[in-house]
Amino acid sequence: MTTQFPDKAIYFGTEGWNLVIPEREERSEDCGNPIVHPDDIFKPAHYGLRPVGICSACWKGYRFHVSIDQNGLVLDTLALSQDEGTPLARINGVAPSEFSSYSDIRYSNVKLKLPVSGILRIGRDIDEDMPRPMYGIPSYLYRCVFEVELNDGNLIAMVNRSAKYEKFRSDNRQRLEDGNRNFYALFD
């Protein structure tokens, strides 16, 4: 199985951030709020869209970019491969355009506020020396990790977790390189 493409974030104007898949049903250390899975942020079906798998690295059939800043969490771009015969919907008044790279349809500058509550984890600068699991790129592989607390899409707080995951990589490098991926207990 191929590692899945991560959805992207623009964090206070800086591109290159990925939305991070939680290792399991996690809660924030600080406030106890659940860590939000990127697939729960935006649901194409809510807009009458029926995406189909694009390739082995995008089985869900779509990818999106969000912006995170003082205005909260906003859907910026959506690219998807649409189920044939499904009418194309507008999202926040934005019509789709044709697109060719890994998708059929693209929505740009959507500017749709996403009413998400919980902790959204974002990461950048992947440690390329570490092995990657197939389901996605977990928090511990990023050198820079932030947790963004949201309430109904509004920004509440941000916490830098980079040191936590650097320590995890350092303490568990050999186990991870040996292929032992049963290490969730280390986060308890």
Identify the pLDDT of residue 82.
79
Identify the pLDDT of residue 186.
46
Identify the pLDDT of residue 185.
44
Q: Which of 115, 69, 62, 70 is nearest to 92 (CA)?
A: 115
Identify the pLDDT of residue 187.
47
Identify the pLDDT of residue 184.
45
Identify the pLDDT of residue 106.
86
> Which residues partner with 145 through β-bridges?
123
Give 129-151 as a DSSP string.
TS---TT---GGGEEEEEEEEEE
**What type of residue is 19?**
L
CA–CA distance, 21 with 134 (Å, rounded to integer):
12
Domains of the chain by residue range: 8-179
Identify the pLDDT of residue 94.
94
pTM of the model: 0.81
3-state secondary structure the chain: CCCCCCCEEEECCEEEEEECCCCCCCECCCCCCEECCHHHCCCHHHHCCCECCCECCECCCEEEEEEEECCEEEEEEEEECECCCCCCCCECCECCEECCCCCCEEECCCCEECCCCEEEEEEEEECCCCCCCCCCCCHHHEEEEEEEEEECCEEEEEEECHHHHHHHHHHHHHHHHCCCCCCHHHHC
Tens-digit pLDDT string for the chain (188 aa):
566 677 899 999 999 999 998 776 565 565 567 889 888 999 988 888 887 777 765 667 788 899 999 999 999 999 888 767 777 889 999 988 876 555 578 899 999 999 999 999 999 998 877 766 666 678 888 999 999 999 999 999 999 999 998 898 888 877 766 664 554 444 44
Token match 């977990």: residue?
138
Q: Name the region of 179 (left: φ>0; alpha: ψ -120 to 50; beta: rest).
A: left
